[in-house]
Structure 1
Amino acid sequence: MNYLDYQIILPELDKINDYIFETITKDFSNLKKVKKISYIRKISITRYKNNRNDMLFQLFLSEIEITSNVSIENIFFLKKIAGAFDEIEVQINDYGQIIKILNIEEIAKRWEITSEKLAIDNVGYAAISYMQDISNLLNDEQKLISFISDYKMFGLYFSSLHRNSYAVERKRKIIDCGSNLTAEHRYPKNEKFDTYLIEGTPIEGNDFIKYEGCIEYRNGQVELAALEIEKEASTILYNINKTTL
């Protein structure tokens, strides 16, 4: 058995690691005007220890930027919603999977204050329904874990903490793919084990025609990760870049 067969790579305790998380979506349904939206989040990730448990992570959102080549009326609304989740504390297992939200009550209180303010100026059905969906998430820890573990949130980072020296298949559901089940294959690009490639094939439905990505490591830590999903009339790119040494 290779020493990398079942290895989780953890960042140094109490060290702040800064990342930029970016999600780019392109909509080609109107070829005369391709719609592009970029969501950039500056995230500080710190592993800490409490009561002998050193599998605890703090995720701190310091800044969010939303840009598009078309007008987006609800940018302020979306930023305020993201602000309610600006600090999340989680516990992971030996495979990098989030198993517990440690400050869910604190997040729920922040969201209660935020949603009350947003409800004053956002009275449409879509806004109310969106806010209710978030309230429902915060009432169900397992659903909140699934949401935070999605690639549009923090899933790409945490899933890259565990790596094998051989090809591995994992089954995933991604919100941007309609939560259809996908068989995701990860395998090392070379014997250095510093770059891994990602490929995916649909199990349920056929929601995409391309599912490819990579994860690169430096000094045993996640340096960058990217995953591109191409659909018939749109593409999604999840991108993570480490900005501190």
Structure 2
Amino acid sequence: MNYLDYHVVLPELDKTNDFIFETVTTDFSNPKKVKKVSYTRKIAITRYKNNGNDMLLQLFLFEIEIRSNLSIENIFFLKKIGSAFDEIEVEINDYGKIIKILNFEELGKRWEIIRAKLAIDNVGLVAESFMQNITNSLKEEHKIISLFSDYKMFGLYFSSLYRNSYAVERKRKIIDCDGTLVAERFYPKDEKLDAYLIEGIPVENNEKNDFIKYEGRIEYRDDQIELATLEIEKEKSTILYNINKTSL
């Protein structure tokens, strides 16, 4: 279906909705030492109006938790990086897609302060490369929009905003899968339109695209997202994205 066929269902104006975003990765390339990491964020999302524009959303991160069955180095480092994006203001279009970061310059300044502090205790090529990638992204707004729109950030939530009574096909790159381009199919479970299913396959076949499973589900209550999940299973790893609404 054409992108223009999408239909956006917006959250209530000036109402804050609380969510838990969770990404769980499991690496079983070594059967004797399976590694499972859970990255959880508590996020408050509010749609607001300014200068007559009511397509504005604030995303406020108020807690990060990282857990694993094995030891993880530099948890503090990872949390501090996450805190650089603890308050984001975006504008979306009529199809639920992010088109502008309203506080883009502020994010860049905030990151430079955090980076300077992290650089004191986090040295080495890996840490420096990681931080430089974020710096580069914050130089161009379209790059940070792509990051925020990815499933590892807020993509599953924004995907929930547009839906239709018929199946819609779309393509997206998945950062956690080495930027693999996936063709998704997003369609209602039944005529009630209170649950939608997601399925997908990689656009190109190569050795990196060892997909076994790509399935998701988004459920609604009173026309607003209640929960969402997407599971990607590969030969030696799995990724699970979850969103749960915790406020009434």
TM-score (structure 1 length as normaliser):
0.97
Q: Which residue of 2 aligns with 1:214?
A: 217
Amino acid at match of 2:38: S
Q: Distance in 2 between matches of 1:225 and 1:29?
A: 27
1:207 CA displacement: 4.0
Counting only pairs closer than 5 Å after superposition, residues 67-146 of structure 1 correspond to structure 2 as 67-146=67-146
Q: Distance in 1 between matches of 2:210 and 2:47?
A: 35
1:36-72 superposed Cα distances (whole Å, 9 cap, x missing partner): 0000000000000011110000000000000000110
CA root-mean-square deviation:
0.9
The list of structure 1 runs, each at least 4 consecutive aligned residues, that deviate by more than 4 angstroms after superposition, is: none
1:144 CA displacement: 0.5
8 Å contact kept, 1:160–1:215: yes
Q: Which residue of 2 aligns with 1:239?
A: 242
Mean Cα deviation higher: 177-186 or 219-228: 177-186
- Between the aligned residues of both structures, percent identity stands at 76
Q: Say yes or no: does 1:38 pair with 2:38.
A: yes
Count of aligned residue pairs for this structure pair = 241
Amino acid at match of 1:97: K
Give 3-state SS (helix, strand or coil) of 2:142's partner: helix
TM-score (structure 2 length as normaliser):
0.96
Q: Which residue of 1 aligns with 2:62?
A: 62
Give 3-state SS (helix, strand or coil) of 2:94's partner: coil
Q: Which residue of 1 aligns with 2:13?
A: 13
Q: Distance in 1 between matches of 2:202 and 2:106?
A: 37
Q: Distance in 2 between matches of 1:162 and 1:32?
A: 43
1:101-134 superposed Cα distances (whole Å, 9 cap, x missing partner): 0001111111011000000001111001100000
Give 3-state SS (helix, strand or coil) of 2:130's partner: helix
Give 3-state SS (helix, strand or coil) of 2:137's partner: helix
Q: Distance in 2 between matches of 1:215 and 1:142?
A: 27
Q: Distance in 1 between matches of 2:123 and 2:180?
A: 32
Amino acid at match of 1:90: V
1:142-183 superposed Cα distances (whole Å, 9 cap, x missing partner): 010000000000000001100010011101111011112111
Q: Distance in 1 between matches of 2:204 and 2:150?
A: 17
Give 3-state SS (helix, strand or coil) of 2:147's partner: helix
Amino acid at match of 1:12: E
1:32 CA displacement: 1.1
Mean Cα deviation higher: 171-180 or 232-241: 171-180
1:208 CA displacement: 1.7
Name stretches of at least 5 consecutive residues in structure 1 with no aligned partner.
none
1:14 CA displacement: 0.9
Name stretches of at least 5 consecutive residues in structure 2 with no aligned partner.
none
Q: Distance in 2 between matches of 1:133 and 1:177?
A: 17
Q: Which residue of 2 aligns with 1:200?
A: 200
8 Å contact kept, 1:95–1:159: no
Q: Distance in 2 between matches of 1:116 and 1:157?
A: 32
1:74 CA displacement: 1.3
